[in-house]
Structure 1
Amino acid sequence: MTTDTNAEVEADAADAVPTFSDLGLSDAVLKAVREIGYETPSAIQAATIPPLLAGRDVVGLAQTGTGKTAAFALPILSRLDVSQKTPQALVLSPTRELALQVCEAFEQYASQMRGVHVLPVYGGQAYGVQLSALRRGVHVVVGTPGRIMDHLAKGTLDLSELKYLVLDEADEMLKMGFAEDVETILADTPDDKQVALFSATMPAAIRRISKQYLNDAEEITVKNKTTTSANTTQRYLMVSYPQKVDALTRILEVENFEGMIVFVRTKSETETLAEKLRARGYSAAAISGDVVQAQRERTVNQLKSGKLDILVATDVAARGLDVDRISHVINYDIPIDTESYVHRIGRTGRAGRSGAAISFVTPRERRLLGAIEKATRQPLTEMRLPSVDDVNVTRLARFDDAITAALEQQERIAAFRDIVGHYVEHHDVPEADVAAALAVVAQGDTPLLLTDDPRSRRPERDDRGTGRGDYSDGAQGGRGGRDDRGDRSSYGNTDARGERAERQPRSSKPMSQYRIEVGKRHKVEPRQIVGALANEGGLGRDDFGHIQIRPDFSLVELPADMPGDVLERLRDTRISGKLIEIRPDRRGGARSIEESRRTTPRSGSSYGDRAERGDRGGAGSDRGADSQRAERKPRHK
């Protein structure tokens, strides 16, 4: 079997592009395409659909986000025999997410065809659901190679009458170790089937498969001027590590977004960041490889339906997620390879829609930024961090919009007008003052406008010790926790630019000792305890005394006059996933912080002391913890 190169398509807007009606698709498929809103086919679709309809094997080379799914789904549906109940088309996808996306696309394109059944087959889903559907009869099977192999081994998937086989993202399948499975599946299917292979690149393994299993294939290459969508605006923000949460929150305030994916590097950070966003009033959820498949599907469906606005994800979501609502992609942690960057931002600006991608870049990640610009052949525009004034302008505009929307409800307005008039008449208060008072009631304890005083902000730490600044009380900028390399640095105050602010005096307030049920065996450190308690209880740097971490529990000194409601909130706090169950330690009475310092061994850990020692290495410093320790002079009794 041979593969010939017969066509090469330049993706140039100046080229004449046919309409879907010119491609020879069936009437039912054309009707569905019109209802979806597609107007003109993309370059890969215009070049691929005619040969597939003619029955030829095809090798399509195109980047992600160019419309490859419709390129093979539309011709397959146009030639489908609905009366045949055994599978006629098999689409192999590298990931479960991509398999689900392709399955949904098939169902959408077949909306005007009666009796077409499409089945996703992937690992993580119960066999019972798949077996029941296969027994009833399906026309199109979309699955991952591993689960398809399982069904073939069990004899539950009959491919004897297969007519069409598609390898989607073939290079990715081989990269993920599915080469043997793919070749086994190809060898076990009928020789007279039609094969379409789609890939972003053409490595030697793909070339070998195409020559061995495809018959006189037409190779179609779509060359883009850049590897990223022209519909996506790409920006970057220079930001120190402790600033990231605040920077993200400000961007959420001023950017007009529908749905958003925030990409982070680690699984643990997904839930940590999602929890911080939820605490700030945003509808956010986490998704990673550790989340069970059923939960991942529910989360994606919530994003599609509008019940969820922000998805915090690792690269597991970079492929296969095609949600119309995703208008923004945020690279909270910039990817270390350019391919991941392309796939990440490919989640927005798809199929002609506009999108925005913003990457957070620390000073030490400039090299990665340069590599991305070189690979995509497209410069990223630097943006500035939205200021307090920018945020306040946006908040006031939304407040105005809310008033305008309320004024349109005349029936309810009339009822409240009488109530307000009664109050004005009996209390002799101007109507403007009453309106302002009602706004205060509606706003609650959350201030409408931010303040621009970074020194009045309480510290916040997360489980990674980043020390990011809290935002819920109009704050920006955190007190340090790590520098840009991720090294531990001492606790210090930082302003909005990550620079060290003046040290605030510590109080000598009476302290009491509290016991929390996390210790060394839970792998906790003082910074995690400080961060969790500060965040949940609204505590400041002078509210912490000595911290002792024992094997199974820890002892923390907190203000003796701590309100009961604060203690109640702290009881529900978790550190390293464990409920801390905070309670007073009866062995330790109230004492001043100065007394605590005099009676504490040098090896103890005090948050206040650590903050004071952090003058030379606060957040944003380029010097690591090792160099800080080298600079310190030894203490002598």
Structure 2
Amino acid sequence: MNKFEQLGLNEALLNAVADMGFETPSEVQEKAIPVLLAQDTDMVALAQTGTGKTAAFGFPMIQKIDVHSKRTQGLILSPTRELCLQITQELKQYSKYEHQLRVAAIYGGASITAQASEIKRGAQIIVATPGRMKDMISRGMVDITNIDYCVLDEADEMLNMGFYEDITDILSNTPKEKSTWLFSATMPKEVSRIAKKFMADPVEITVGTKNSGSQNVQHEYYLVSGRDRYSALKRLADANPDIFSVVFCRTKRDTQKIAEKLIEDGYNAGALHGDLSQNQRDMVMKAFRTNQIQMLVATDVAARGIDVDDVTHVINYQLPDEIETYTHRSGRTGRAGKSGISMVIITKSELRKIKGIERIIQQEFDAKKIPNAEEICEIQLYHLASKIKDTEVNAEVEGYLPAVMDVLEGLDREDLIKRMVSVEFSRFANYYNKTQDLNQPSASSEASSGEGSTRYFINVGSKDGYDWKTLKDFLREQTGLDRDDIYRVDVKESFSFFNSDAAHTEAILQLFSEFKMDGRFINVEISSNAGGGGRGGSRGGNRGGGFKGGRKRSFGDSDKRSKGAFSGKRRSFDGKKSKGHSTSAKKSHRKGPKPKW
């Protein structure tokens, strides 16, 4: 028997589930769906973002709706238009075999008359943002006085956004005998007030611990001076070529400014905030979902509509004003059973907030250091070597090889490799060798600075199926060390790093001296530095308008093809465009590195 069938879903929904490839219900679905199907009851469900909440309330609502009636029977309130559209799209997928079921999305930024017409045609379920819904009620464009079900999705976020009065006004227009289902990541006082006022003896389910963070997310903070915040962001990106992240800022102005600076410095970045038109937002989100944007800089409000399961990092460029909001931010990664990392860039004055967040998420932060020049260069060198090894040979290059061989005649294998790597690597190394240490000293950061610790390189990474969590488990299993003895695990695409206390060094190196798994040697070596900074990102592509688009680029890519050695437009090392090879118009000061990998 299908595991979803055990929850009590009907054949139409089970067919839709099969089409979408769902095999095992999430914890919130297992707990909520049977209860909501079996009885008409109010419910408070506490679960993190990305745990499958839409299906948890969507399946029961679809199954209980009378599709033969055109009356509006279900109302779902969500905080943003992106999330509203996302929920609507998912409900339509779930109900694809319920041919008479209609779902309407009601949100600002679109024609209110067109939305009213869609409702009049017979929408049994309305998904709406509070502001637009209240407006339509006041104009008499929608009737919710006879609905049977009402869902408050992301309730804490709606209230954080100031929708308390709108929500209470909307709920006051609904019948008392309806079923109200409240879904929230956290349970602040305002959410409790709504529950007490509009719900009667609700069933409460909790996935994890109240207000806790996902166990799949590793939390890290980096202590820097306020003036070095942007430089720290770039180094965290440079420390690993595989980043796919959301970078959070507090204001729309900062969001736009940081995104523009990243684009100017050559990163695949884009901005998402409330001042963008709907068309601009759609373009940015499409680019992000297709990995054309790898660093999406967003405000908390705009990010509510992001539903991407593969986000590797959340970077808190600035901490939110409300500590509870951190839970929503970190919930953008570590979704769908995958692991992720939440990084916080903070100054000394903000350090006290970390303890407050730890109490809420019930997890501890790792105090980590911004990567130094040596570590970044080491990571990028390994990445370049991996890219070269994994590159598929283009058959068209065969015709050029005789001439190339003539040029390279006399170079042995080792010398050729050194020269090839040095072409791009030297520029990157020269830039970072002139930069300062960005880390600010503190008791906790000094304690974890790497003193008495050994940093190791291991030749497995994400392409071998590892993330920081599973690699840590693998190392513990092989070495017999305790959980806390293996730390600062940073997984890259084809290699990784980890730390242990120096007392374990000899045993670890001996264990992996001739270690084989599935016929392959697993090599562990002492890294050239004892760092352990963040993970990082890819950059490049052609500079665009609203976002940094383009393919992922490898070490040595050019921005433009040139007809001659120095002809045409090329992008300089700092991301600026210059004609030919002249630098007279540009000063030597560089905003940041522009390697082409």
Range of TM-score over shorter length: 0.5 to 0.7
Check the 8 A contact 2:47/2:183 in 1, yes or no.
no
Pick one of 14, 34, 37 that aligns with 1:53. Answer: 37
- Amino acid across the alignment from 2:586: V
Question: Which has the higher mean CA deviation after the structures are superposed, 187-196 or 64-73?
Answer: 187-196
State the partner residue of 2:586: 566
State the partner residue of 1:413: 397
Structure 2 counterpart SS, 1:326: coil
Deviations 1:253-308 (A, max 9, x none): 23364521111223222122112222332110112233334322332232122221
Over the matched positions of the two proteins, sequence identity in percent amounts to 37
State the partner residue of 2:331: 346
Residues 50-129 of structure 1 mapped to structure 2, 5 A cutoff:
50-65=34-49, 66-111=51-96, 113-114=98-99, 116-129=101-114
Alpha carbons of structure 1 residues 20 and 289: separation in structure 2 relative to 1, 3 Å: same
Alpha carbons of structure 1 residues 184 and 226: separation in structure 2 relative to 1, 3 Å: closer
Deviations 1:108-142 (A, max 9, x none): 43355546543321122332542453354434221
Larger relative contact order (Cα-Cα within 8 Å, sequence gap ≥ 6)? 2
Structure 1 counterpart SS, 2:182: strand
Check the 8 A contact 1:258/1:325 in 2, yes or no.
no
State the partner residue of 2:300: 315
Alpha carbons of structure 1 residues 137 and 405: separation in structure 2 relative to 1, 3 Å: farther
Under a length normalisation based on structure 1, what TM-score does the superposition of the two structures give? 0.62
Structure 2 counterpart SS, 1:566: coil
How many matched pairs?
A: 452
State the partner residue of 2:259: 274
State the partner residue of 1:451: 430
State the partner residue of 1:292: 277
- 2: distance between equivalents of 1:257 and 1:99? 30
Alpha carbons of structure 1 residues 430 and 213: separation in structure 2 relative to 1, 3 Å: closer
Residues 23-422 of structure 1 mapped to structure 2, 5 A cutoff:
23-65=7-49, 66-111=51-96, 113-114=98-99, 116-159=101-144, 162-190=147-175, 193-200=178-185, 210=195, 213-214=198-199, 217-222=202-207, 224=209, 227-255=212-240, 257-409=242-394, 411-421=395-405
**Residue 381 of structure 1: how far off its partner (Å):** 0.8
Question: Which has the higher mean CA deviation after the structures are superposed, 171-180 or 363-372?
Answer: 171-180
Check the 8 A contact 1:243/1:477 in 2, yes or no.
no
Structure 1 counterpart SS, 2:205: strand
- 1: distance between equivalents of 2:377 and 2:277? 40
Structure 1 counterpart SS, 2:343: strand
State the partner residue of 2:471: none
Alpha carbons of structure 1 residues 308 and 128: separation in structure 2 relative to 1, 3 Å: farther
- 2: distance between equivalents of 1:189 and 1:200? 24
**Residue 181 of structure 1: how far off its partner (Å):** 3.4
Alpha carbons of structure 1 residues 408 and 139: separation in structure 2 relative to 1, 3 Å: farther
**Residue 37 of structure 1: how far off its partner (Å):** 4.7
Structure 1 counterpart SS, 2:203: strand
- 1: distance between equivalents of 2:140 and 2:211? 45
Deviations 1:339-381 (A, max 9, x none): 1211211111123221110111222222112222233221101
- 1: distance between equivalents of 2:54 and 2:396? 50
- 1: distance between equivalents of 2:235 and 2:66? 54
State the partner residue of 2:4: 20
Check the 8 A contact 2:372/2:437 in 1, yes or no.
no
**Pairwise CA RMSD of aligned residues?**
3.9
- Amino acid across the alignment from 1:286: A
- Amino acid across the alignment from 2:401: R
- 2: distance between equivalents of 1:312 and 1:268? 11
- 2: distance between equivalents of 1:148 and 1:269? 30
- 2: distance between equivalents of 1:153 and 1:72? 27
Structure 2 counterpart SS, 1:235: strand
- 1: distance between equivalents of 2:243 and 2:361? 26
Alpha carbons of structure 1 residues 35 and 327: separation in structure 2 relative to 1, 3 Å: farther
Structure 2 counterpart SS, 1:312: strand
Alpha carbons of structure 1 residues 131 and 257: separation in structure 2 relative to 1, 3 Å: farther
Structure 2, unmatched stretches of 5+, are 441-572, 592-597
Check the 8 A contact 1:90/1:165 in 2, yes or no.
yes
**Residue 151 of structure 1: how far off its partner (Å):** 1.8
Alpha carbons of structure 1 residues 216 and 353: separation in structure 2 relative to 1, 3 Å: same
Check the 8 A contact 2:47/2:206 in 1, yes or no.
no
Deviations 1:442-474 (A, max 9, x none): 85xx8554137654xxxxxxxxxxxxxxxxxxx
Alpha carbons of structure 1 residues 230 and 92: separation in structure 2 relative to 1, 3 Å: same
Under a length normalisation based on structure 2, what TM-score does the superposition of the two structures give? 0.66
**Residue 199 of structure 1: how far off its partner (Å):** 3.8
**Residue 238 of structure 1: how far off its partner (Å):** 1.7
Alpha carbons of structure 1 residues 298 and 367: separation in structure 2 relative to 1, 3 Å: same
Alpha carbons of structure 1 residues 374 and 239: separation in structure 2 relative to 1, 3 Å: same
- 2: distance between equivalents of 1:274 and 1:202? 32
Check the 8 A contact 1:304/1:324 in 2, yes or no.
no
**Residue 404 of structure 1: how far off its partner (Å):** 3.1
Larger Rg: 1
Alpha carbons of structure 1 residues 563 and 171: separation in structure 2 relative to 1, 3 Å: closer
Structure 2 counterpart SS, 1:123: coil
Structure 1 counterpart SS, 2:221: strand
Residues 435-514 of structure 1 mapped to structure 2, 5 A cutoff:
439=420, 447=426, 449-451=428-430, 455=434, 475=435
**Residue 97 of structure 1: how far off its partner (Å):** 3.6
Check the 8 A contact 1:361/1:369 in 2, yes or no.
no
Structure 1, unmatched stretches of 5+, are 1-17, 456-474, 481-533, 539-561, 574-637
Check the 8 A contact 2:316/2:344 in 1, yes or no.
yes
